[in-house]
């Protein structure tokens, strides 16, 4: 019996969309304890991606299995992070998240912004509490970095978030062969034109890991103190 008045996912529809679960983190949701659900598959092939086994692999864990796990974590965790891969690609995501919310968890979505319609539905249904939006590159370099032609839908997702009351962050992975200081300044200027204000996180590429693209080592020699503007605080991670 479903006492939460939320549709139960039929087993035949609950495909194994999730590659793995990180059962506990204090780093991936600001000020909250959380677990991470790593969704298999992605519609981009970012050259610096260090999760090729997730992006190119198949899911191993069903939604029903995750919900069973989450029931054991009620009152122990604050939140669930939907990451990947790209979680918004997956069928039945919305009813799945409804069940997560019914268990009392906050929900954070890590997304490349490629599915603004799904993002909009989740926002309208009050299913998201926090979003981390990946800003891969400027429009001029987007295809080179992501191996996809999805800048326009990323832009729609950014606009949706800017017009909403949902807490969100914008973040970029920095690899010196793909994004130099000129490109980074161009991306910051773009965010300012879109009237984004707040924190912009730059994540240094992690050297010596397997990636989708065959990339050389990334240099960390970048003038960290010269990017923050009047409206945007640039914060380097890692």
Q: Decide the pairing of beta strands 198-204 and 232-237.
A: parallel
Q: What is the pLDDT of residues 154-197, one digit of tens each?
A: 999 999 999 999 999 999 999 999 998 899 999 999 999 999 99
| Spatial separation of the C-alpha atoms in residues 213 and 128, rounded to whole Å | 32
pLDDT of residue 225: 60
Tell me which of 75-84, 114-123, 125-134, 223-232 is least confident. Answer: 223-232
Instruction: Select from 23, 34, 18 the least CA-distant residue to 92.
Output: 18
Cα 213 to Cα 52: distance, rounded to the nearest angstrom: 9
Identify the structural domains of the chain with CATH numbers, from first to last. Answer: 18-237 (3.20.20.70)
- pTM across the whole model: 0.91
The residue-averaged pLDDT of 37-62 equals 96
Specify the residue for token string 């707040």: 198
* pLDDT tens-digit readout, 8-42: 444 433 469 999 999 999 999 999 999 999 999 99
């Amino acid at each position: 019996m479903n006492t939460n008045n939320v549709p139960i996912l039929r087993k035949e529809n609950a495909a194994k969309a999730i590659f793995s679960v990180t059962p506990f983190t204090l780093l991936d949701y600001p000020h909250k304890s959380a677990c991470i659900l790593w969704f298999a598959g992605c519609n981009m092939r970012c050259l610096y991606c260090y999760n090729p086994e997730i992006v190119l692999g198949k899911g191993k864990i069903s939604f029903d299995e995750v919900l069973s796990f989450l029931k054991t974590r009620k009152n122990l965790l604050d939140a669930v992070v939907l990451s990947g891969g790209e979680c918004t690609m997956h069928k039945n995501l919305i009813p799945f998240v409804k069940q997560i919310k019914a268990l009392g968890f906050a929900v954070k979505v890590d997304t490349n912004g490629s599915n603004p319609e799904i993002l909009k539905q989740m926002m309208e249904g009050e299913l998201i509490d926090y979003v981390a939006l990946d800003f891969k590159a400027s429009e001029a370099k987007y295809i080179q970095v992501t191996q996809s032609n999805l800048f326009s839908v990323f832009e729609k997702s950014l606009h949706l978030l800017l017009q909403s009351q949902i807490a969100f962050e914008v973040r970029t992975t920095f690899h010196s062969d793909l994004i130099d200081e000129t490109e980074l300044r161009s991306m910051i200027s773009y965010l300012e034109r879109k009237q984004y204000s707040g924190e912009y996180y730059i994540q240094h590429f992690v050297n010596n890991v397997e990636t989708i693209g065959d990339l050389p080592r990334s240099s960390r020699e970048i003038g960290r103190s010269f990017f923050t503007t009047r409206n945007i605080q640039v914060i380097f991670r890692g």
